[in-house]
Amino acid sequence: MPKKYRVKWTKSAKDDILNIISYIKKDSPSIAKAVYTKIKEQANLSNFFPLKGRIVPELEKEGITTYREIVTPPWRIIYTIGSDTIYIIAILDSRQNIEEILIQKIIKGQI
């Protein structure tokens, strides 16, 4: 049986998902709830197979390989793996400039 990890959401990731849901909720509360559920379910799947997610390509090209992602179109769930915990660090919309967003989060110390 594979090792089961805890899933912990960082403040930055919590802020990301709340902003996403708040924005969607303006037009459709039911779609906002469905998106929230989908993202949370996908993030929690990482606790069984943390290496399943790919290394974030935009960071890998900069030599940063400690961050992985699960893609649930259009959302990208960015995480890192600790000894017994998966840290969800960002939820991003893949239609945006991901490279710029990630660099800004790194500069601000959010990831």
Asked if the structure places residue 100 within a domain, the reply is yes
Q: pLDDT of 13-62, one tens digit each?
A: 999 999 999 999 999 999 999 999 999 988 887 766 778 889 999 889 88
Model confidence, pTM: 0.85
How many folded domains does the chain comprise?
A: 1
Asked if the structure places residue 24 within a domain, the reply is yes
Q: What range does the domain containing 74 cover? A: 6-107
d(CA 22, CA 29): 9
More confident position, 96 or 60: 60
CATH of the domain at 77: 3.30.2310.20
Based on the number of CB atoms within 10 Å of its own CB, is 3 exposed (0-12), middle (13-18) or buried (19 or more)?
A: exposed
Residue 106 pLDDT > 80: no
Q: pLDDT of 79-92, one tens digit each?
A: 999 988 999 999 99
Asked if the structure places residue 1 within a domain, the reply is no
Q: How confident is the model at residue 110 (pLDDT cuts 50, 70, 90)?
A: low
pLDDT at residue 95, as a whole number: 85
